[in-house]
Amino acid sequence: MRSYYFETFFICCVLIFGLQLNAQDDSVNFEAVVSKKNLGLNENLRVDFKMNKDGDNFSPPNFEGFKVVGGPNQSVSNMWVNGKRSFSKSYSYFLSPLKKGQLTVGQATIEVDGKLFKTLPVNINVSESVEISRDPNDPSYVVNENLHLVAEVSDTSPYINEGISIVYKLYYSPQINVTNVGEVETPEFKNFWSQNIKIPRLQIERGSFKGDNYNYVTWKKTVLYPQKSGKLEILPLSLDVSVDVPTSRRDFFGNRIYNQVSKKVTAGKKTINVRKLPDGAPKSFNGAVGDFDLELKTTKRDLNASESLQAIVKVSGKGNLKLFSPPDLKVPSSLEKYDPEYSENVSTNLLGMKGSISNTFTLVPQFQGKYPINPIEFSFFNTESNKYETIYSKEVIVNVLEGPTSISQIEPERNKNSSSKNILPSINQFKFIKTSTDLFKINSPLFIYSITFYVLLAIPVLGIVILLLFFRPKKISDSEMLDFKSKRANKLAKKYLSEAKNNLDKKDVFYISLEKALHNFLKSKLAIETSEFSKERIYNLLSERNVNDKTLSSFLKLIENCELARYTPASEVTVNNDYENAVNVISEIDKIL
């Protein structure tokens, strides 16, 4: 009998203990974990917001007193051990303190199974800047020794308007892995004309830094043209770099474990000593620096008066082409000159500008004759020979074949023939202009008071009345209207989901396209931005528009499937079902809205 009671008591204890374990397994643990609670002003802090159950609508604190230099980085661990599921998810941030004293990492929030959970605030003590550790096992020390940002300047003592280049390279040792790079401070090129050289994609290259082998990435290329002489400063470029540093530890499978460290690197300030141009510049010098050629050409040489031609003044070569204008064109007074049309064909690389600029003048001759366009003078400073050079274009002669003769051309003929001294030249030159009119007086009554005016005015009114009486619109039945709405809704759904349909065989791309389609549909229907999307807001907005619970639950389930698809595998059947459900849900919501 005693053994029976003992066995019963033992079984009850086991059941109670098992229920407690299940209750503990089902509880939500959401906490903030910091890398250190005491740090110097020059150190970074890592904060991990960890949870043991997946949730929605994660909201970090505002990090008052800190500057976010990295993150958020999201990591998920989903493991099964002895038939039990172990889930872990974290959001990581790297923070840099902005001041000394006691700072607080505020509360983060997340929603799990409809309930809101918050982390506890964490107090951080920030002291004066500390000396960086030289422990080779310290990840921060390893990063400091193996990560460098360098600014390479092609020439630190150029002339005014002489092109130079600055290239920023990020060097890192092969023993560390760079995972993420972001630009924090962009250099200002004050007193420089600047143009960035586009880098299609970042490429890892091998190089040498202080005698050691390094990998490097060219981050930024810029061409500069100084606009004043003296010492000009280029403020530094700063990058936030996330680095994986290997440790001596290994995981269960023997793979090396890495620690992630965020570091701010800077290229340092650069000083450029800009030289003045030498004295003795020619009068035709207008700021051109480089090596150039000059060309003057016309679209035609022979034409008649009142016809037009184009004269093109073109400067080509390499130098500061975008920073000066081509020389002006001087023509005889008998050639009417219009304002020029400017054009340029200039490419820019690390060696500077190269190409051509030109002014196209339209000229219209007034009288017949031959008119020379004198050579154009153009001066520039040649940086290779370090002296001014002046070049000239060739003379161009415009031959006007037909047209009126100018008085200046007739005057010598009049002096030769005294008998014609009282004859006016070109007496019939303006004979084609009429000097009399054929106007006649109108005595008829005004049209506005005529019967025809009022008849024409009444015709549109009568037409509208007839249309209203005899051509009434056909009343559309409820079933026809419902059928029309259904067809329109299906067409709209397929329009948004066309990209997802094309990627049914690619699970990752399909769910990205599906999520984008759902968001775009809501943006078009509810006039909200992507940054405002949350399940709670979507639920409230659709509920206010009388969308039934079944349709609303299906829509939210689709969004949840899109999020889960990033971490869990999906079968072909699941993908097809989600696509069909999306078509039906979008069609149903569109009909309701």
Q: Which CATH number fits the domain that encloses residue 526? A: 1.20.120
Q: Contact at 8 Å (CB) between 214 and 171? A: yes
User: What's the token pair of residue 222?
Assistant: 């810029």
Instruction: Tell me how far apart the alpha carbons of residues 575 and 581 are, in angstroms, rounded to a whole number.
Output: 10
At which of 229, 246, 274 does a domain end? 274
Residues 168 and 290 in one domain: no
All residues at 6 or more sequence positions from 48 whose CB lies less than 8 Å from its CB, including other chains: 32, 33, 34, 90, 91, 92
| Residue closest to 49 by CA, chosen among 98, 103, 107 | 107
Instruction: Tell me how far apart the alpha carbons of residues 122 and 47 are, in angstroms, rounded to a whole number.
Output: 10
At which of 65, 97, 127 does a domain end? 127
Instruction: Tell me how far apart the alpha carbons of residues 553 and 547 are, in angstroms, rounded to a whole number.
Output: 10
At which of 400, 419, 444 does a domain end? 400
In a domain, 351, yes or no: yes
Residues 328 and 356 in one domain: yes
Task: Write out the residue range of the structural domain in which residue 58 sits.
Answer: 26-127
Instruction: Tell me how far apart the alpha carbons of residues 561 and 571 are, in angstroms, rounded to a whole number.
Output: 12
Q: 156: domain CATH number?
A: 2.60.40
Residue 232, Cα to own-chain centre: how many angstroms? 29
Predicted confidence at residue 584, as pLDDT, reads 81
Number of domains in the chain: 4
Alpha-carbon separation of residue 312 from 315, 320, 362 (angstroms) = 10, 20, 9
Residues 290 and 331 in one domain: yes
Q: What is the pLDDT along the chain (593 residues), one digit of tens a residue?
A: 455 455 555 555 545 544 444 444 468 889 999 988 888 887 888 899 998 888 888 889 989 888 887 778 787 877 766 667 778 888 888 888 888 899 999 999 999 888 899 999 999 999 887 766 665 667 777 888 889 999 999 999 999 999 999 999 999 998 888 888 888 788 889 999 999 999 988 899 999 988 889 999 999 999 999 999 999 999 889 888 888 888 777 777 777 777 888 888 888 889 999 999 999 999 999 999 999 999 999 999 999 888 899 999 999 999 999 999 999 999 998 889 999 999 999 999 999 999 999 999 999 998 889 999 999 999 999 999 999 999 999 999 999 988 787 655 555 555 555 444 444 444 455 555 666 677 666 666 667 777 888 888 889 988 888 888 876 655 555 556 555 555 555 565 566 677 777 777 777 777 777 777 777 777 777 666 555 567 777 777 777 777 787 777 887 888 777 777 766 666 666 777 777 877 788 877 777 77
Residues 113 and 163 in one domain: no
Peptide bond into 72 cis (omega under 30): yes
In a domain, 188, yes or no: yes
Residues 82 and 172 in one domain: no
Give the burial class of 173: count Cβ atoms within 10 A of its Cβ; 0-12 exposed, 13-18 middle, 19 or more buried. middle
473: helix, coil or strand? coil
Q: 350: domain CATH number?
A: 2.60.40.740
In a domain, 14, yes or no: no
Residues 100 and 189 in one domain: no
In a domain, 454, yes or no: no
Instruction: Tell me how far apart the alpha carbons of residues 353 and 346 are, in angstroms, rounded to a whole number.
Output: 6
Residues 270 and 290 in one domain: no
Residues 113 and 148 in one domain: no
In a domain, 445, yes or no: no
Written as one letter, the residue type at 555 is: F
User: What's the token pair of residue 581?
Assistant: 């459900």
Residues 99 and 182 in one domain: no
pTM over 0.75: no
Predicted confidence at residue 224, as pLDDT, reads 95
In a domain, 472, yes or no: no
Predicted confidence at residue 573, as pLDDT, reads 62
Alpha-carbon separation of residue 455 from 98, 224, 274, 464, 485 (angstroms) = 84, 76, 84, 15, 45
In a domain, 499, yes or no: yes
Instruction: Tell me how far apart the alpha carbons of residues 392 and 216 are, in angstroms, rounded to a whole number.
Output: 48
Residues 266 and 304 in one domain: no
In a domain, 19, yes or no: no
Residues 301 and 379 in one domain: yes
Residues 244 and 352 in one domain: no
Predicted confidence at residue 319, as pLDDT, reads 95
